[in-house]
Amino acid sequence: MTTQIKLLRGRVLSFTAEPQGPDDTDAYSYLEDGAILIADGRILATGDHDTLAVQAAGAEIIDHRPNLLMAGLIDTHIHYPQVQVIASWGAQLLDWLNTYTFPAETRFADSDHSAAMARHFYDQLIAHGTTTAVAYCSVHRASADAYFAEAERRGMRMIGGKVLMDRNAPEGLRDTPQTGYDDSKALIADWHSKGRLSYAVTPRFAITSTPAQLELAGALVAEHPDCYVQTHLSENHAEIAYTAELYPQAPDYLGVYEHFGLLTPKSLLGHAIHLTPREIGLLAETGAKPVFCPTSNLFLGSGLFDDAGLRGHGITNAIATDVGAGTSYSMLQTLNEGYKVLQLQGQNLHPLRAFHWITRGNAVALGLQDRIGTLAAGTEADIIVLNARATDAMALRMQCATTLSEELFVLQMMGDDRAIDQVYVAGTAMKPSDNAQRQQV
């Protein structure tokens, strides 16, 4: 079978390193009339249009000019069973979990419900330009099966796992140390490294796991060192106090996860807001990755993530939506709120670093920069098309934008799903329509 070769034409932006400042032009390549040559789900070449057009005999040419082509966006922390929890009013973390989240997650025992919600979940990711995410499923094995099956159907690179939780949760939402271990093991056998899928061992957080369960979670991590680990850390003061009561022998919150062998460079720690110096040192030492979830942290009133402080210790921070405590699926809106959270602390998120963060930066945090997050030849063809004039207000603002950085900042502050004109997953266009011109040569 011959594969259709595609040549995407547009303004092409791809990062090669983390920009060290707002004018660091060495950290990216930008082509005003660029193109990306794609076949078999991969990028064959990225370069000037006129150069690549010569190699593109027989290709379908898809002209996205004047829009901007970038790598697909990466969301490193999201809860797929919370698609109907987003925008639930009036509570902070522990009340919010008990009042809204746990009841909603109980319904994922039903595999039909899980499958239907997984379809909605992926529709939202695609609409918002997210081509890879790391998600929590519910406690039920069926929810994780539905999550991975739908990702496989769409050809997406996705990471996830069923949550382990054996206490402080309602009936119907608790496993046991042994069933949690056995179900995780079975899911790893069924899904991990299958095509573009990876498993994350997922103890929800210290409060919902007994020591016996965290012990077995540590065993899973030791037995499957190539799996990811995801959990929550130091999001909220009441959560931290309760964790200290439940684990009185631990030196601090992170010490709980340390004790059970859950901290590796593949560990993603959602929130990580209220940390002690010892915990910060331990993050630096183990290479575990804090995940900044700005819309969630503001929504639940959790606190302000100290990005610069952690980076100052050589820690690699990821960034994510955390839907359904997060209030938008959009990684652009996540940057918008992230910008404000950092402003409140006298820190600055310039647009080059912002767009690096949601593409190559999150790929680096996941150890996947050779596969996703850039437009380099040989990587997987997950690509988005960005329109900085998607709304009247954006178009008006763009009349006065003269630089790439200004355009990116308009997208960072005003962009959302309306600014995502098309999304390619492994080279296949996922949105039913866009503003491109198509032509066969």
Which residues would be at the binding site for Zn ion (CB under 5 A)? Answer: 270, 322
Contact set for ligand GUN, span 60-89 (CB under 6 A): 79
**Residue 9 interacting entry, from ligand GUN, Zn ion, none, C-beta within 5 to 8 Å by type:** none
**Residue 204 interacting entry, from ligand GUN, Zn ion, none, C-beta within 5 to 8 Å by type:** ligand GUN
The answer to whether residue 122 forms part of the interface with ligand GUN (CB under 6 A) is no
**Residue 108 interacting entry, from ligand GUN, Zn ion, none, C-beta within 5 to 8 Å by type:** none
Residue 65 buriedness (CB in 10 A; 0-12 / 13-18 / 19+): middle
Provide, rounded to whole angstroms, the least separation between the CB of residue 79 and ligand GUN: 5
The answer to whether residue 322 forms part of the interface with ligand GUN (CB under 6 A) is yes
Tally of CB atoms within 10 A around 334: 30
Backbone angles phi, psi at 311, to 5 degrees: -60, -35
Computed over its alpha carbons, how large is the radius of gyration of the chain?
Answer: 21
Provide, rounded to whole angstroms, the least separation between the CB of residue 322 and Zn ion: 5
Distance CA 283, CA 286 (A): 5
The interface region with ligand GUN, picked from 61-69, 93-101, 190-198, 213-221 by CB under 6 A, is 93-101
Amino acid identity, residue 17?
A
Provide, rounded to whole angstroms, the least separation between the CB of residue 26 and ligand GUN: 37
Tokens of 62: 């898809």
Residue with tokens 């266009």: 429
Question: Beta strand 437-440 with 60-71: parallel, antiparallel or unpaired?
Answer: antiparallel
CB of 150 or CB of 322, closer to Zn ion: 322
Tokens of 156: 């997406």
CB of 236 or CB of 374, closer to ligand GUN: 236
* Secondary structure (3-state) at 375: coil
CB of 145 or CB of 322, closer to Zn ion: 322
CB of 319 or CB of 425, closer to ligand GUN: 319
Residues 6 or more apart whose Cβ sits within 8 Å of residue 344? 304
Contact in structure between 187 and 199 (CB atoms under 8 Å):
yes
- Identify which of 301, 271, 288, 258 has the alpha carbon closest to the alpha carbon of residue 365: 288
CB of 269 or CB of 386, closer to ligand GUN: 269
- One residue of 204, 274, 289, 371 binding ligand GUN per CB under 6 A: 204
- One residue of 296, 333, 369, 374 binding ligand GUN per CB under 6 A: 296
Contact positions vs ligand GUN (CB under 6 A): 79, 93, 97, 101, 204-205, 232, 235, 296, 322, 325
